[in-house]
């Protein structure tokens, strides 16, 4: 990762589902949704210096190919997938018996350059399966995620690896983050990984987000723990915190999801671009 590089990540979750089906997509027809987002943002994102800021979009799998097809040559937009399976094809081994699984090699073959791994929603899903089996040792979640990170790296994908403590872990957040990093990135070339800090206890309606000092404290700790790995704020880069996050030296960017939280909530490309302008400061050059 480049020195001083800022990273702006966009996690589009399942914002593709139209409102009439219970989702929040009011911006484009489902089939054109991924391409629409690229088309509506590419011109302005192209005005930023690629040596100082990079833009990655993690898109639901149905939209990856249309989004990639909409990219122009030398586009600043990197298209990524929302997680990968912990196993993959191998020469002389498994050639593709992965029904229902999204392997890293398949995503690299499609044209993706990065993967989102360990998001709090993925961690919760894995922990829920373990709980159904009566497993109470949730350290296994980090070990499963480590297999996913290794699979992504083996396929040549860069990784955004999410870490964060929930409400019950706040009193020992340093220990929790250290274990997530140590176990999740075991035997991984960290030069291909960016970390995202998610304060899970603060995510959701009615929750109070961490203030600048809390985020700075976490950022400084993670930098010291990892020897300076790039770290972005994963609790949501938004209009109301963009300036504050930009002022924290140990935070190297942010993860955007929803852009509108009242009324017709959802993701809107013009609001996404506004958040970036607020975070980067001034006008693109």
Known active-site residue 213 = no
User: Phi-psi bin for 276: left (phi > 0), alpha (psi -120 to 50), beta?
Assistant: alpha
d(CA 120, CA 115): 15
Could you tell me which of 42, 121, 39 has the C-alpha nearest to residue 75? 42
d(CA 158, CA 177): 21
d(CA 198, CA 57): 18
Known active-site residue 119 = yes
Local structure of residue 58 (DSSP, 8 states): E
Distant-in-sequence, close-in-space partners of 31: CB < 8 Å, separation ≥ 6 = 66
Catalytic residue among 122, 148, 165, 198: 198
List Cα–Cα distances, 190 to 145, 159, 225, in angstroms. 14, 9, 13
Catalytic residue among 7, 36, 63, 119: 119
Distant-in-sequence, close-in-space partners of 276: CB < 8 Å, separation ≥ 6 = 8, 45, 55
Residues with active-site annotation: 119, 198
């Amino acid at each position: 990762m480049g020195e001083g590089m800022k990273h702006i990540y966009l996690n589009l979750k399942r914002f593709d589902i139209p409102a009439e089906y219970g989702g929040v997509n009011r911006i484009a027809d489902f089939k054109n949704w991924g391409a629409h987002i690229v088309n509506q943002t590419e011109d302005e994102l192209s005005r930023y210096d690629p040596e100082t800021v990079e833009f990655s979009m993690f898109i639901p799998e149905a939209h990856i190919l249309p989004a990639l097809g909409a990219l122009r040559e030398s586009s600043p937009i990197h298209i990524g997938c929302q997680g990968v399976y912990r196993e993959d094809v191998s020469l002389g081994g498994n050639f593709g018996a992965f029904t229902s699984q999204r392997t890293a090699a398949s995503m690299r073959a499609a044209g993706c350059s990065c993967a989102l791994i360990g998001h709090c929603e993925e961690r919760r899903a894995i922990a829920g399966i373990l709980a159904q089996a009566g497993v109470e040792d949730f350290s296994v979640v980090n070990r499963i995620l480590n297999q996913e990170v290794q699979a992504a790296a083996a396929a040549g994908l860069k990784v955004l690896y999410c870490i964060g403590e929930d409400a019950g872990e706040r009193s020992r957040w340093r220990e929790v983050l250290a274990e997530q990093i140590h176990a999740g990135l075991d035997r991984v070339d960290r030069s291909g990984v960016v970390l995202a800090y998610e304060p899970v206890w603060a995510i959701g309606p009615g929750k109070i987000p961490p203030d600048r000092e809390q985020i700075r404290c976490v950022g400084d700790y993670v930098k010291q723990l990892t020897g300076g790995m790039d770290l972005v704020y994963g609790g949501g880069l938004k209009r109301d915190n963009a300036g504050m996050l930009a002022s924290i030296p140990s935070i190297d960017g942010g993860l955007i999801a929803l852009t509108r939280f009242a009324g017709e909530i959802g993701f809107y490309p013009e609001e996404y671009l506004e958040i970036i302008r607020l975070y980067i400061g001034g006008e693109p050059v």
